[in-house]
A and B are shown apart, each in its own frame.
Chain A
Amino acid sequence: MSAESKRPLEQQITLLELVDRVLNKGVVLTGDIMLSVADVDLVYVGLRVLLASVGTLEELQAEAAER
């Protein structure tokens, strides 16, 4: 993999890591009310929203379609 093709991938990974943390990690307390349905699929929904701004939307969609 060339350094050129790798930069957007790392950007993608940073966003994936951020969304994964905010939606799927962090403290959960018993008795809280879930204000959004935050399951694994939503990581990709959120990611698509985020990635739309960095121009890698198509690739992500293609990847999601393969699943």
Chain B
Amino acid sequence: MIYLYAIAEELAELPPVAGVAGAALERRAVDGLELVVSELDGAALEPTEETLLAHARVVDELVPRAGALLPARFGRGFGDEGALVDAVRGRAEALREALRLVRGRVELGVRVVAEGAEPAPEADSGRAYMEARLAQTAERERLAEEVHRPLERLARASTRTVAATPRLVVSGAYLLELDDVEAFRTRVAELQARHPDLAVACTGPWPAYSFAPGDDE
């Protein structure tokens, strides 16, 4: 099995770190794209702390060594060399487009978390309960937009999701020019000051995980 870590352009050298299961990193070139892979025994890879961090570490180490880089999702393998080459060629256009987008830019994450889970609304009828729930949802959406809009304006691209867990209000990923990172953090701090009842956390810079072609296109 061949395990994939990232697809890059202008990769200088491989980093001196091991891959998942301690395997040595290798590189393959397919139509001008650089693939970083390792051999993997067997057809299963559990998402443990060790394997997740091994994958993330390889990607982190590759970023400063590449002109542009797209991290691969954890836990994806290919039966043989031919299957990997075919898979890359089948997606080459989307990959090149994404590499152009992320080149020279970094991803920042923003998670906005409310202090406690919202209590289920108290209501004496099913209809009143539903209305109260809808009002909660609308309020979260409004809050999400209020946070996302000013951040989105500083970004080249962005994604966001709302209320995936009881506490989370909004989670966004923002692709930024390096020069804009400081202004972005300042804007996050302003949003935090404006919403003292929320925790507005800014993470990163991350490799551009959120701007790589996934399985939804």
Produce 1/0 per residue, B26-49, CB < 8 A to A.
000000000000001001111111
A residues near B (Cβ < 8 Å) are 1, 6, 9-10, 13-14, 16-36, 38, 40, 42, 45-46, 49-50, 53, 63, 66-67
On whether the beta carbons of B91 and A34 are closer than 8 Å, the reply is: no
* Interface contacts beyond A21-B109, A30-B87: sample of 5 additional A-B pairs, CB < 8 Å, sorted by A: A24-B73, A25-B210, A27-B98, A32-B4, A36-B44
Report the minimum CB–CB distance from A42 to chain B (whole Å).
6
Judged by a CB distance under 8 angstroms, whether B157 is at the interface is: no
A49 to B46, CA, bound (A): 12
15 contacts between A and B (CB under 8 A): A9-B199, A14-B203, A18-B52, A21-B207, A22-B73, A25-B71, A26-B209, A27-B4, A27-B7, A28-B213, A28-B215, A29-B76, A29-B91, A38-B75, A63-B117
**Known contacts A21-B210, A23-B47, A67-B165; A32 and B77 CB within 8 A of each other:** yes
- Report the nearest B residue to A25, measured CB to CB: B209
Please pick, from A33, A49, A63, the residue contacting B165 in the complex, using a CB distance under 8 A: A63
Q: How distant is the Cα of A42 from the Cα of B117 in the complex, in angstroms?
A: 21
B66-100 interface (Cβ within 8 A of A): 70-79, 83, 86-88, 90-91, 95, 98
Given A1-B199, A63-B166: A35 touches B209 (CB 8 Å cut-off): no
| One of B1, B79, B173, B199 near A10 (C-beta < 8 A) | B199
Interchain CB contact under 8 A, B203 and A9: no
